[in-house]
């Protein structure tokens, strides 16, 4: 296989790195969402990477989008902001683009690609995290509309989103079935909670979303009625790829920081890179980065062939999240007491990284999924 990037991919990647370093690393925005940065990124044309030019997008391949997201994660140290961008692109805008009707696309996509409207996905509930199928938010037919009632929890982009992709139960018996809807923040009965204070990823606001007798036009169904489980599965696949691709870039950035640190810091009269206990940590970082890049390219290729990557994205999510957390933990050890202070970026990087073993399905859930698919394939 040829892993060489094309001239256009190399130039696009470098353009994103130059843009992000110059525009997206404002220290005052590291712990809160920046609308100014959002507008800068929108103007750069990043939000519509794979979307049709009809809606203002770039129509790039999914592999090129993966390369672009890796570059953004590498050059933009604001991990929470990158997480907010991915929530908008891949599990809100992209779901409408791929599975919505022409009417829904025309109604919402141009404003989302241009950044004038921000998107979010609403799946999780208080009693259903990784077990999404146990959700109780319901949508009942009423004439030409549906009436939605329920509460969603831990919704990334919740406080800043204008458009929600919402999953609700539309049939309870004999088999529970869900439907996906597009619901606007301004629909009567939608209430957005306050930003939930978190350990990290603070530039991506998170909140509760309440739906109280919200009247939603039938035309706002994504796909067809009762097809929500299938769309949810597709959404999870996109999420487990693109939300974890930037972590590969972040791992590269942290590894380079560590390399710089071990060269300049001295103990016992010599550079600390001379100690194998230190140099082996960096060797492990580079090993992990190279391995996850292979999966990054493979999944991008699979999606460009319009093929399923459900198993591959679960493996990718599991491996990247554990490697990312370990990279941050080792970086903190290398920086020592300095790494534990807020003067350096390492403690924030570590706080941001911890969350990735939880969101998009816990790592324990990924192992269940991987085993089930292996059992089917080889059992």
Residues serving a catalytic function are 239
Relative orientation angle of helices 310-335 and 228-242, to the nearest 10 degrees = 40
Residue 21 phi/psi, 5° resolution?
-65, -35
Q: Please state the φ and ψ torsions of residue 268, each to the nearest 5 degrees.
A: 55, 35
What is the per-residue DSSP string for 294-319? HHHHHHHHHHHTT---HHHHHHHHHH
Using DSSP's 3-state secondary structure scheme, residue 178 falls into: strand
Whether residue 174 is preceded by a cis peptide bond, meaning omega within 30 degrees of 0, is: yes
**Residue 337: left (phi > 0), alpha (psi -120 to 50), or beta?**
alpha
Which token pair is 312?
């591959």
State how beta strands 266-267 and 206-217 pair: unpaired
Q: Are 187 and 215 in contact (CB under 8 A)?
A: yes
The phi, psi pair for 244, rounded to 5°, reads: -105, -15
Answer yes or no: are the C-beta atoms of 77 and 36 closer than 8 Å. Answer: no
d(CA 23, CA 17) in angstroms, rounded, equals 10
């Amino acid at each position: 296989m040829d892993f060489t990037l094309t001239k256009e991919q190399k130039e696009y990647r470098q353009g994103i790195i130059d843009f992000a370093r110059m525009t997206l690393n404002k220290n005052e925005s590291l712990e809160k969402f920046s609308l100014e940065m959002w507008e800068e990124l929108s103007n750069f044309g990043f939000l519509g990477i794979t979307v049709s030019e009809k809606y203002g997008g770039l129509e790039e391949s999914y592999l090129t989008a993966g390369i672009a997201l890796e570059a953004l994660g590498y050059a933009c140290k604001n991990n929470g902001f990158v997480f907010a961008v991915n929530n908008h692109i891949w599990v809100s805008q992209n779901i409408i683009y791929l599975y919505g009707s022409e009417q829904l696309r025309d109604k919402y996509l141009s404003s989302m690609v241009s950044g004038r409207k921000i998107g979010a996905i609403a799946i999780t509930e208080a009693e259903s995290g990784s077990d999404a199928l146990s959700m109780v938010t319901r949508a009942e037919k009423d004439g030409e509309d549906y009436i939605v009632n329920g509460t969603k929890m831990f919704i990334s982009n919740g406080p800043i989103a204008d458009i929600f992709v919402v999953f609700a139960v539309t049939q309870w018996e004999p088999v529970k079935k869900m439907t996906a809807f597009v619901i606007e923040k301004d629909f009567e009965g939608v209430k957005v909670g306050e930003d939930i204070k978190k350990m990290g990823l603070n530039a991506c606001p998170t909140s509760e979303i309440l739906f109280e007798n919200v009247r939603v036009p039938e035309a706002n169904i994504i796909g067809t009625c009762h097809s929500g489980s299938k769309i949810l599965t597709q959404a999870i696949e996109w999420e487990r790829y693109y939300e974890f691709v930037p972590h590969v870039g972040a791992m590269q950035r942290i590894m380079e920081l560590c390399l710089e640190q071990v060269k300049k810091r001295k103990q016992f009269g010599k550079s600390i890179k001379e100690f194998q206990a230190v140099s082996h940590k960096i060797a492990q970082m580079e090993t992990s980065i190279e391995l996850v890049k292979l999966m990054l390219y493979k999944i991008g290729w699979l999606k460009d062939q319009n093929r399923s990557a459900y198993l591959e994205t679960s493996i990718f999510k599991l491996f990247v999240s554990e490697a990312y957390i370990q990279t941050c933990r080792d970086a903190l050890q290398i920086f020592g007491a300095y790494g534990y202070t807020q003067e350096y970026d390492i403690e924030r990087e570590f706080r941001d990284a911890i969350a990735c073993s939880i969101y998009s399905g816990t790592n324990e859930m990924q192992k269940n999924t991987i085993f089930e698919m292996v059992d089917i394939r080889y059992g």
